[in-house]
């Protein structure tokens, strides 16, 4: 441990100073500890470090630094730093505190070698996310935060039960691949805990419910950590699990369908998290070859960059106009060309346009599906790409920045720190896309892959051209509608309300008509009479004891007061007599 300073712990411990610091230095301090954590990540040396003792059990090592954990620590620490820069002007101390803590927990997940420390950091993610959701301080955000808690408690319990069974079965605490135990009950319990945090349908509704309910700065922090920590855990624990190929492929299409229907900017982007994480999940399932696992890691890294850029751009629109729905916007590009440019860099990146990081990031996953001959995944992932182009570039881009202005909104200038973070992410999205092999050198597994082949570029441009044509034809049909879209959370929301109403009509009347009457009878016939008898006994017996004790104390104090004469020579005599008594006792004991 002496050779390794844990960057996650630096952020976690350092974040607790943020709320107590003066507002004049609070944000500068948060950026400082974010910078320190990023520096510690990029200078970390591969190896095994640390040990802990829990209930007499020695767990060693607790920290694993390898290419996979380093890749995720790089992007977690960097994007946390960019998030702290983005919210630099915010006066609320809760948001930078929760953001720094969230970043530290994510780094802790990526470096955890044992299942105990992994689980502790994993659960801390949920705590930080809820703080960011509640930082909006509205009725909607409070309710969304509680729903988030309930879902993630269920996932955490599933994971915890799986870990306990795994430790009992294997006799080890090491967090490594579980594939040798495929099909075991704990294998499924751990997998469920991971895919729930990856927002896999039908367990995904917490994400588009909670992320738009946070502040615009909270959404930037919420986007990269929980779902990508789940992707990291899947790469580490379930490489090549075939069920993930089909689950991820469905996720990719499901997310874009709901994104196409959305009117709210951040809900649309939230559904695209579900879709894009679907690519990563499918890539893990295709991990029978390194191309799939590297594709998942690569896509997770690059997705964090361009999706945070998109959330920052959407946040800039909301900050400037106070509007969050496309039906209230339009024409914003003429007022804020920098925000529009940043948005479209992120939009073309998420769609996978050549010379962006999205093109070189997720293409290995689709190539892996083709290489192993999985037609289902290959078709659905390409269909999802078309849906991404339409919903992000065409629909969100056009109806936010270029269509006619729908309401008479005023534009507030953006703080310079928001522009700096957006500019840095835009440069990286282009830079990584232009220099893919430089980025590929940091991927965790050996891979020989060239994204810029003539065939790949022609196929991609063909998909873009076809999709733009479809959007032009169905422009009016795809216009945003001011309506609420029902998702898979509505059945259990309605079921929950019906359950509560059922309790009101059954349990509550039973309590009043039976339990309440029974309890009153017990009180009147048993407890109260017993209390009366006890009171009578206290008066007859116990009161005499207290009175005797009081009188005895008074007699003793009166006699002691006679000894306290106030004359010094009397006290000197008392001391001499005391010394003589002590000497006699000592001589008697040691003779």
* 318 close to 411: Cβ distance less than 8 angstroms: no
pLDDT in tens, 85-100: 999 999 999 999 999 9
Q: Among 18-22, 284-288, 324-328, 476-480, whose mean pLDDT is lowest?
A: 476-480
Find the mean pLDDT for residues 520-546: 73
Does one domain contain both 75 and 196? yes
Between residues 464 and 524, the one the model is more confident about: 464
Answer whether residue 115 is part of any domain. yes
If one counts every other C-beta atom within 10 angstroms of the C-beta of residue 253, the result is 17
Q: Which residue has the higher pLDDT, 287 or 254?
A: 254
pLDDT tens for 115-145 read: 999 999 999 999 999 999 999 999 999 999 9
Task: Give the total number of structural domains in the chain.
Answer: 3
Please indicate, yes or no, whether residues 276 and 408 belong to a single structural domain of this protein: yes
Q: Averaged over 73-79, what is the pLDDT?
A: 98
Give, in order, the Cα–Cα distances in Å from 444 to each of 66, 198, 248, 447, 559.
Answer: 8, 21, 21, 9, 87
pLDDT at residue number 410? 92
Whether 254 and 339 map to the same domain: the answer is: yes
Residue 317 pLDDT: 97
Range of the domain at 298: 239-436+451-483
538 pLDDT above the threshold of 80 = no
Q: Are residues 259 and 212 in the same domain?
A: no
Same domain, 35 and 168: yes
Q: What share of the chain is helix, strand, coil (3-state, %, to 5)?
A: 75, 5, 20
Same domain as 193, residue 283:
no
Q: 557 and 537 in one domain? A: yes
Asked whether residue 411 is assigned to any structural domain, the reply reads yes
| DSSP letters spanning 340-375 | HHHHHHHHHHHHT-TTSHHHHHHHHHHHHHHHHT-H
Q: What is the DSSP letter of 286?
A: T
479 secondary structure, DSSP code: S
Q: Do 209 and 269 belong together in one domain?
A: no
d(CA 25, CA 292): 45
* Beta-bridge partner residues of 264: 325
Quote the pLDDT of residue 510.
Answer: 75
**Percent of the chain scoring above 90 in pLDDT:** 74
- Both 132 and 155 in one domain: the answer is yes
Q: What is the pLDDT of residues 264-321, one digit of tens each?
A: 999 999 999 999 999 999 999 998 889 999 999 999 999 999 999 999 999 999 999 9
pLDDT at 562 > cutoff 70: no
- The residue with tokens 């751990």 is 190
Assess whether 60 and 196 both reside in one domain.
Answer: yes
The answer to whether 113 touches 126, Cβ cutoff 8 Å, is no
- Sequence-separated (6 or more) residues with CB below 8 Å from residue 98: 128, 131, 132, 135, 218, 221
Query: pLDDT of 441-458, one tens digit each?
Result: 999 999 999 999 999 999
- Could you say which DSSP state residue 451 is in? S
DSSP assignment of 258-303 equals HHHH--BHHHHHHHHHHHHHHHHHHHHHTTTSHHHHHHHHHHHHHH
More reliable by pLDDT, 560 or 311: 311
Establish if 227 belongs to a structural domain.
no
Dihedral sign from CA coordinates of 466, 472, 476, 478:
positive
Tokens 């090592």 correspond to what residue? 61
Flag whether pLDDT at 560 surpasses 70: no
**Residue 53 bridge partners (DSSP):** 58
Q: Is the pLDDT of residue 1 over 50?
A: no
Does residue 186 sit in the same domain as residue 210?
A: yes
Q: Is residue 75 part of a domain?
A: yes
Look at residue 274 and tell me if it is in a domain.
Answer: yes
Mean pLDDT of the residues in the chain: 90
230 belongs to a structural domain: no
CA distance 319 to 414: 7
Asked if residue 296 is part of any domain, the answer here is: yes
Q: What's the pLDDT score for residue 313?
A: 97
Backbone φ/ψ region at 423: left (φ over 0), alpha (ψ -120 to 50), beta? alpha
pLDDT for 116 equals 93
Residue pLDDT, tens place only, 567-588: 666 666 667 777 777 777 766 6
Residues 208, 246, single domain; the answer is no
In a domain, 303, yes or no: yes
């Amino acid at each position: 441990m002496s050779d390794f300073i844990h960057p996650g712990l630096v952020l976690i411990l350092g974040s607790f100073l943020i709320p107590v610091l003066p507002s004049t230095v609070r944000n500068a301090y948060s950026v400082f500890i974010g910078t320190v954590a990023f520096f510690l990540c990029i200078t970390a040396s591969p190896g095994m470090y640390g040990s802990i003792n829990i209930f007499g059990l020695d767990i060693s090592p607790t920290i694993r630094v390898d290419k996979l954990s380093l890749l995720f620590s790089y992007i977690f620490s960097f994007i946390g730093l960019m998030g702290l820069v983005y919210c630099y002007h915010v006066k609320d101390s809760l948001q930078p505190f929760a953001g720094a803590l969230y970043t530290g927990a994510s780094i802790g997940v990526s470096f955890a070698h044992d299942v105990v420390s992994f689980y502790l950091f994993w659960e801390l993610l949920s705590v930080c996310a809820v703080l960011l959701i509640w930082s909006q301080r509205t009725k909607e955000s409070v309710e969304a935060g509680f729903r988030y808690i309930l879902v993630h408690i269920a996932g955490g319990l599933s994971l915890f039960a799986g870990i306990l069974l795994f430790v009992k079965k294997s006799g080890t605490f090491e967090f490594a691949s579980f594939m040798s135990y495929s099909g075991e009950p704990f294998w499924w319990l751990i997998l469920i805990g991971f895919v729930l945090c990856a927002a896999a349908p039908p367990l995904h509704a917490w994400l588009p419910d909670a992320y738009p309910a946070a502040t615009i700065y909270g959404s930037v922090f919420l986007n990269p950590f929980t779902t990508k920590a789940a992707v990291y855990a899947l790469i580490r624990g379930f490489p090549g699990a075939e069920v993930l190929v089909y689950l991820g492929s469905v996720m990719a299409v499901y997310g874009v369908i709901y994104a196409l229907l959305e009117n709210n900017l951040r809900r649309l982007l939230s559904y695209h998290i579900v879709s894009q994480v679907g690519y990563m999940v499918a890539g893990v399932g295709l991990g029978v070859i390194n191309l799939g696992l590297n594709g998942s890691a690569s896509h997770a890294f690059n997705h964090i960059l361009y999706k945070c850029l998109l959330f920052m751009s959407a946040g800039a629109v909301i900050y400037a106009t106070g509007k969050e729905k496309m039906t209230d916007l339009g024409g914003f590009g003429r007022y804020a060309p920098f925000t529009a440019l940043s948005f479209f860099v992120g939009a073309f990146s998420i769609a996978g346009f050549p010379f962006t990081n999205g093109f070189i990031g997720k293409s290995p996953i689709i190539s892996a599906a083709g290489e192993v001959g999985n037609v289902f995944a290959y078709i659905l992932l390409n269909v999802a790409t078309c849906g991404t182009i339409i919903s992000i570039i065409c629909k969100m881009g056009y109806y936010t920045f270029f269509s006619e202005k729908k309401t008479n909104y005023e534009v507030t200038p953006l703080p310079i720190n928001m522009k700096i973070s957006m500019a840095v992410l835009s440069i990286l999205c282009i830079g990584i896309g232009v220099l893919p092999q430089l980025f590929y050198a940091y991927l965790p597994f050996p891979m020989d892959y060239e994204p810029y082949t003539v065939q790949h570029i022609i196929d991609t441009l063909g998909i873009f051209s076809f999709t733009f044509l479809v959007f032009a034809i169905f422009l009016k049909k795809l216009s945003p509608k001011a309506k609420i879209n029902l998702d898979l959370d509505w059945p259990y929301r309605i079921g929950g309300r019906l359950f509560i109403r059922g309790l009101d009509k059954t349990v509550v009347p039973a309590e009043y008509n039976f339990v309440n009457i029974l309890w009153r009878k017990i009180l009147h016939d048993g407890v109260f009479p017993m209390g009366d008898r006890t009171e009578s006994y206290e008066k007859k017996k116990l009161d005499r004891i207290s009175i005797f004790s009081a009188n005895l104390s008074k007699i003793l104090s009166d006699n002691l007061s006679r000894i306290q004469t106030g004359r010094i020579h009397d006290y000197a005599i008392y001391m001499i007599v005391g010394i003589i008594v002590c000497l006699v006792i000592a001589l008697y004991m040691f003779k």
